[in-house]
Amino acid sequence: MGKLKDGVMKRGKTWSYVIRVIDPDTGLSKPKWVGGFATEDEAKEARDDARRAARRGEYVDRSAITVKEYLGDWLDAHALETKPRTLAGYRWLIRQYVEPRIGRQRLQAIRPTTLTKLYQDLLKGGRADGKPLARATVDKVHAVLRKAFNDAVKFEGVLSSNPADRAKRPRRTARPSVEVWNADELRLFLGLMANHRLRAFYRLAAYTGARRGELLNLRWADIDWNAPAVRIRGSVGIVEGERVEGTTKGGRERIVSIDPDTVRELKAHRRRQMADQAKVGDAWPDTGHVFTTGLGEPIYPDTATQLMGKVIRAYNTPDPNEPTKTHLPHARLHDLRHVHATLLLIAGVPMHVVAERLGHADPAITLRIYAHVIRTHAAGVAGIFAAAAAQSDSANAEQNEDDETDEDDGPEASALVPS
């Protein structure tokens, strides 16, 4: 056993610290030993945190619960108040990236440096094949841990502070802005879908900016033919391979207006669906979904995603009969949402209106996502302002001339001119 130095010492293969805390029953100060730290630095960092917590009267007694045990309990406790798809995402991130690396460590032994190293290791080789993990995925791991550990502080009382708040994540590298289709490319794609049963789906996706799951959740009762508009009130996701319906991403309903051509497209889609229903007869499921298979079953989300990629690849395949045909850049289904927002912003539609159509709770979210669109089309702003200012100056000058003429001609003005 080592020597105690400034409240820290090595006992066996691990390090421990000791602090003095107030016994709530007696009101007297007593020593409190905490061990199990792999290094001296970790023990010192934990000691300093404990000292600060003790001075604030927030010291948390020792618990043997591990990270894996706590996170398992935390996930179970949130099962009723978290969307199934979100909860499944949490479970997958924890099982895949957290438990194999720090799951066996005691929860209270987790320091900011522990999480910093975790993030670095994931970025270097966190994938199953040993390749670097995407920064976006590491950010998701951090977000889940920060939320879970925050509950351990506020509600469970097993942590005195949240180590994720002070963990350092590697600097984010700026990603090039995503190029989205222009209006001509969008028209080309929609033309390719002209004879497909889901042509109205892609039309609605591009002309409303709605998410995939929101459109696949849409019922005919959600369409207001008179406004005309669609009511986005739910979403569809995939949880462990199963199609699951729930609320929208932000949990709020919204009304999105649609144009007359899109209304005609939806009416034509409704007639085709009714023809399918007549063929199937009583076996047709009475779900009311706008987008269904030929047998009336709701569309599986990945079907719409994969179909778009297949159509683009098939079109771009070299054809000796059309050697000069226009190439269509690859795009994802979600990119139709970006096309919708980008074309609106280029046309001068206010940011808050675009945010409302997209279902963003705060226009600041829209601004952050589409800042590159604003920067790209901001080059002529200086000229617009200069022209407006010049026009204003000219109008003021003319007004001043009129005022001076009126003053010279008026009798009151003549009386004020000294002789």
Q: How many percent of the chain have pLDDT more than 90?
A: 51
The Cα angle at residue 191 between residues 189 and 195, in degrees rounded to 5: 115
Beta pairing partners, 255: 231
- pLDDT tens-digit series, residues 24-57: 667 677 777 778 788 888 888 888 887 877 776 6
The Cα angle at residue 305 between residues 192 and 277, in degrees rounded to 5: 75
Chain-centroid distance, C-alpha 217: 19
> What is the average per-residue pLDDT within 221-247?
89
Six-digit token string for 198: 């889901």
Burial class (CB in 10 A: 0-12, 13-18, 19+), 338: buried
> What is the average per-residue pLDDT within 87-94?
92
pLDDT given at position 11:
82
Q: Which of the four pLDDT bands, split at 50, 70 and 90, describes residue 411?
A: very low
pTM of the model: 0.68
pLDDT given at position 392:
64
Q: Give, rounded to a whole angstrom, the gap between the first and last alpha carbons of the chain.
A: 111
Distance in angstroms (rounded) separating the CA atoms of residues 199 and 153: 51
166-177 burial string, b = 16+ CB within 10 Å, else e? ebebeeeeeeee
107-118 burial string, b = 16+ CB within 10 Å, else e? bbbbbbbbbbeb
For every residue of 379-391, DSSP letters joined together read TTHHHHHHHHHHH
pLDDT surpasses 70 at 375 = yes
Q: Which of the four pLDDT bands, split at 50, 70 and 90, describes residue 104?
A: very high
What is the phi/psi pair of residue 6, to 5°? 55, 40
pLDDT given at position 303:
93
Cα radius of gyration rounded to whole Å, the chain: 32
Containing 209, the helix (H) or strand (E) segment is none
pLDDT surpasses 60 at 405 = no
Considering the chain, what is the average pLDDT of its residues? 85
Q: Do 223 and 232 touch, CB atoms closer than 8 A?
A: no
Q: Do 214 and 248 touch, CB atoms closer than 8 A?
A: yes
- pLDDT tens-digit series, residues 150-197: 998 888 777 878 999 999 886 665 555 567 899 999 999 999 999 999
> What is the average per-residue pLDDT within 56-63?
62
